[in-house]
Structures are given as C-alpha cells and as structure tokens.
C-alpha cells in the first residue's frame, strides 16, 4: 500500500511540474508591461499622491509597438515627481522593462508596428454584447 501511495504522489508531482512552463522572455515582458500600465493607472487615479503625478507623461505600453522603447526612455528620464516613492518605484519597473527589451529579449521580440501615436491613447477592449 505504501509504494502505491508514493507512486501516486510522484505521478501528481510530475504532472503538475510538466504543466508549469518556465516564463519566456515574451511572457515576462508582457506581464511586466501590463503591471506597469496598471500601476500607472492606479497612480493617476489615487487621491493621496502628489499633484505632480498629473504632469507625468502618459504610460500606456504595447510591447508590440517599436515606439515603446522611446516611451520607456522618456518616462524614466522625466525629471518630475522624484520625491514621490510610487513614481520612483514605477520608474524602476520601467527601467527594468527597457533593459529586458533591449538586452535579454531583443532577438525574441517582433515589433508589429511603429505607430507612436497609438501609445498616447490606449485602445479600449471591445464591448461584448449579450
């Protein structure tokens, strides 16, 4: 009975490990860009943050758009709000994403567009009709 239980536990462990794929460069960049975009939205709508946050450049990111590199560079280099910890944290995440894009993933990513205006106004998700 004990060897059967060990075999069953081993099988469950192997099956769960097989389904958990390691993150790819693309999946890491995609998740980090979404995290940064969401953090920026929360920062913009927070009432407790400094008024300088309203002056920050927009930070809608699409990693399929080549202009995302310039967008990240501009955001990280923006001189305002250095005294706001949330902005500094967001700049660090943006710096990390930029580094990953140009260093680790540069051969793995394909940019589908270079429309810089598309990064100024986020596209709303389609409305589902029921």
Secondary structure string (H, E, C) spanning 21-68: CCCCHHHHHHHHHHHHHHHHHHHHHCCCCCHHHHHCCCCCCCCCECCH
Tell me the two tokens of residue 32.
């980090």
HSE, CB side, 13 Å, CA atoms: give it for residue 16. 6
Tell me, yes or no, whether 1 lies in a domain.
Answer: no
DSSP 113: B
Tell me, yes or no, whether 69 lies in a domain.
Answer: yes
> How much is the CA Rg of the chain, to the nearest whole Å?
20
pLDDT of residue 32: 93
pLDDT of residue 125: 47
Cα 27 from chain centroid (whole Å): 9
Tell me, yes or no, whether 36 lies in a domain.
Answer: yes
pLDDT of residue 98: 93
pLDDT of residue 31: 92
Averaged pLDDT, groups of 10, the chain, 130 residues long: 66 58 78 92 83 84 89 90 89 94 80 81 51
CB contact at 8 A, 62 and 96: no
Tell me, yes or no, whether 10 lies in a domain.
Answer: no
Tell me, yes or no, whether 8 lies in a domain.
Answer: no
Tell me, yes or no, whether 126 lies in a domain.
Answer: no
Taking the whole predicted model, whether its pTM rises above 0.85 is answered as no
53-89 burial string, b = 16+ CB within 10 Å, else e? beebeebbbbbebbbbbebbeebbebeebeebebbee
Domain limits for position 61: 22-119
């Amino acid at each position: 009975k004990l060897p059967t239980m060990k075999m069953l536990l081993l099988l469950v462990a192997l099956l769960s490990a097989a389904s958990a794929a390691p993150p790819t460069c693309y999946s890491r960049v995609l998740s980090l860009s979404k995290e940064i975009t969401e953090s920026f939205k929360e920062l913009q709508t927070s009432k407790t943050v400094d008024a300088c946050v309203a002056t920050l450049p927009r930070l809608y990111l699409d990693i399929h758009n080549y202009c995302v590199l310039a967008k990240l560079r501009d955001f990280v280099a923006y001189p305002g709000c250095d005294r706001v910890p949330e902005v500094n944290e967001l700049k660090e995440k943006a710096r990390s994403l930029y580094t990953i894009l140009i260093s680790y993933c540069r051969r793995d990513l394909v940019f589908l567009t270079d429309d810089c205006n598309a990064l100024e106004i986020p596209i709303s998700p389609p409305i589902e009709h029921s």
